Amino acid sequence: GLKIVTIGGGSSYTPEIIEGFIRRYEELPVRELWLVDIETGKEKLEIIGNLAKRMVKKAGVPITIYTTLNRREALPNADFVTTQFRVGSLDARIKDERIPLRHGYIGQETNGAGGMFKALRTIPVMLEIDHDMAELCPDAWLINFTNPSGIVTEGVLRYGKTKKIIGLCNVPIGMEMAVAKLFSVDSSRIRIDFAGLNHMVFGLSAYLDGNDITKSVIDKIADGKMGSTVKNVMNIDWVPEFVTGLSIIPCPYHRYYFKRQELLEKELEEFSKGETRAEIVKKLEDELFQLYKDPELDSKPSQLEQRGGAYYSDAACRLISSIYNDKGDIQPVDTLNNGALAVISPDSVVEVSCVITKNGPRPLTMGELPIEINGLVQQIKSFERVVIDAAVTGDYKKALLAMTINPLVSSDTMAKVLLDEMLAAHQKDLPQF
Ligand code: NAD
Ligand code: G6P
Ligand code: MN
């Protein structure tokens, strides 16, 4: 049987992953699931732990649930470690969103100034986890959801010990589900060739039962039939000729770049009413934990679908299962490029369709990206690499460079204003600065 450790176990998303393991029990025999959190998450962890125990009991599967605030107690001999934690909790996210908005810039969890600060807070903690794993479970796979997922994954590959880290996101899976819905078929019949970076990924081609349907998908998107596929990115329709001209499938997050003005206006409108996404999520989370506390509840409540990361556990469980069972199927993950995307250096992390075996992901060759978008993808990668160096060194100049070259900031003066204010606001979670 398998031992799985989930770091950030007190997350309101956890019932999803429990449900995922229960549903796949036949092919993925999990014996021990350790949920790890920290002191400030103690209460949440306890509620989640009890709900998880009720869920496995009801399902009648022999998965034993453990909870602990000491990750070193959980890690020994783990087969898979999954990470889904938030350094500084939602209060830090509120600052990431509100500070840029107050200055008239996009305030977002994984993009622009906010995404940069989430990376600065998270990478040092991930490197500590990597360090503990090298000692206590050196052969384990590290499946990372912690955002910004692609940057965090590359940070570990550049500065950590393990080579067995894989980043994940629910966006590609959500895009395949949305295309399946457009064609009224089961999503197992849809495959998209994904290439790009996390939250900057494109579908180069789409297939139904192996037949190319890209053009018809593009036409449907141009007709506004497929909106934003995640709850946290506002849905504003694309200009039809933009989509047909682009002729590859954008992800919801591209709206921050190609609809920056409209999205910013919408965000500012919400902001003036006093609410950013983080505050909406806080309310949702309170509701969810009220439900989770109910001793009668023994399954995942549907309210969880209001969270942007809905269905993330499908991505996690199917990845773990394909590694464990050496399936050789194709899944989009965040992994070393290794030549798959010609315009990105081989030692950088990309989000790309990969063949998954027990040796991990092997990316499929995607060649050149269309000229219209490869500049943006490369610029975001430059930004990501400078952010990683800033996170590891605590170097102010590197941080200022990163902020300035981010396309959602693009001004050295404003980058400095944002950087200084955000460094001060997040001081307790940024010991390296
Ligand atoms: P959350 O605020 O509920 O945090 C989850 C838990 O992490 C909390 O219980 C918190 O106490 C705990 N935590 C904080 N620091 C920790 C540490 N050092 N060690 C262990 N636990 C720690 O967050 P959430 O909304 O559940 O999201 C969790 C993470 O997953 C975030 O980073 C979020 O961005 C990410 N996420 C990613 C995807 C994706 O597509 N990759 C999807 C959904 C969520
Ligand atoms: C998905 C993303 C995640 C992100 C989440 C935010 O779009 O893929 O990476 O963390 O949604 O959802 P939330 O409900 O927290 O706003
Ligand atoms: Mn994501």
C-alpha 60 – ligand 3 centre gap (Å)? 32
Task: Indicate the pLDDT class of residue 160, thresholds 50, 70 and 90.
Answer: very high
147: alpha, beta or left, given left = phi > 0 and alpha = psi -120 to 50?
A: beta
Tell me what the mean pLDDT of segment 115-139 comes to: 98
Pocket test for ligand 1, best of 84, 97, 285, 300 (most atoms within 8 A of CB): 84
Q: For residue range 178-212, what is the model confidence (pLDDT) as tens digits?
A: 999 999 999 999 999 999 999 999 999 999 999 99
Q: Provide the ipTM.
A: 0.98
Q: For residue range 371-417, what is the model confidence (pLDDT) as tens digits?
A: 999 999 999 999 999 999 999 999 999 999 999 999 999 999 999 99
Res 133: pLDDT: 98
Q: Is 13 in the pocket of ligand 1 (CB under 6 A)?
A: yes
Q: For residue range 227-265, what is the model confidence (pLDDT) as tens digits?
A: 999 999 999 999 999 999 999 999 999 999 999 999 999
Pocket test for ligand 2, best of 91, 170, 176, 254 (most atoms within 8 A of CB): 170
Q: For residue range 92-104, what is the model confidence (pLDDT) as tens digits?
A: 999 999 999 999 9
Q: Which ligand has the shortest distance to the CA of 276?
A: 2
Helices 171-182 + 214-222 axis angle, to 10: 90
DSSP symbol at 341? B
Atom 6 of ligand 2, nearest CA residue = 308
Average pLDDT, the chain: 97
One DSSP character per residue, 204-271 reads: EEEEETTEE-HHHHHHHHHTT-S--SSTTS---PPPHHHHHHH-SBPPGGGHHHHSHHHHHHHHHHHH
Residues with CB under 6 A from ligand 2: 109-110, 147, 169-171, 230-232, 277, 281, 307-309
Task: Indicate the pLDDT class of residue 311, thresholds 50, 70 and 90.
Answer: confident
Helix (H, G, I), strand (E, B) or coil at 332: strand
Give the predicted TM-score (pTM) of the model.
Answer: 0.98
Tell me what the mean pLDDT of segment 203-229 comes to: 97
Tell me what the mean pLDDT of segment 324-350 comes to: 98
At residue 221, does pLDDT exceed 90? yes
Name residues whose C-beta falls within 8 Å of residue 192's C-beta, 6 or more positions apart in sequence: 172, 175, 176, 179, 203, 204, 205, 206, 207, 249, 332, 353
Atom 11 of ligand 2, nearest CA residue = 308
The Cα 49–Cα 56 span in angstroms is 11
Atom 32 of ligand 1, nearest CA residue = 146
C-alpha 84 – ligand 3 centre gap (Å)? 11
Q: For residue range 267-307, what is the model confidence (pLDDT) as tens digits?
A: 999 999 988 999 999 999 999 999 999 999 999 999 999 99
Q: For residue range 63-90, what is the model confidence (pLDDT) as tens digits?
A: 999 999 999 999 999 999 999 999 999 9
Atom 43 of ligand 1, nearest CA residue = 309
